[in-house]
Amino acid sequence: MFSLPSIWNLIISTIVFSIAAKNIHSHLHRRGIPAGQKRNLWVLGLASLLSWGAGDAADWTHDKIAGEQPAVQTSVEASQLAKTVDQIHK
């Protein structure tokens, strides 16, 4: 089931993408591959794959440490929460 990524996933994958893109770009430049759209697409693709893998590893680690969180609240839990909020405001 689809669930939103954790904040750690977003932070780590952003950092990994930035570092990977810079390193891949400089590596391809040192190898003499001419600058252009094809090289930029390679950098984007490889950095995206590394970033996605690092973010997935961060989520996996978080799930192992904290335990899996439910992806969606049930309607019973939501209605009970609404009743509790109504009682507090009265």
What is the pLDDT averaged over residues 34-59?
93
Arithmetic mean of pLDDT, 45-56: 95
* Average pLDDT of span 32-59: 93
Mean pLDDT of 40-52: 95
- pLDDT for 12 equals 93
CA distances from 73 to 3, 80, 82 (A): 12, 11, 13
How many domains does the chain fold into? Answer: 1
The pLDDT assigned to 7 comes to 85
Q: Identify which has the larger pLDDT, 67 or 60.
A: 60
Residue 1 lies in a domain: no
In a domain, 2, yes or no: no
Q: What is the pTM of this model?
A: 0.68
Within a domain: 43: yes
Residue numbers of the domain that contains 76: 7-89
Tell me which residue has tokens 């094809």. Answer: 38
Q: Are 21 and 44 in contact (CB under 8 A)?
A: yes
Percent of the chain exceeding pLDDT 70 equals: 82
- Assess whether pLDDT exceeds 60 at residue 80: yes
14: in domain: yes
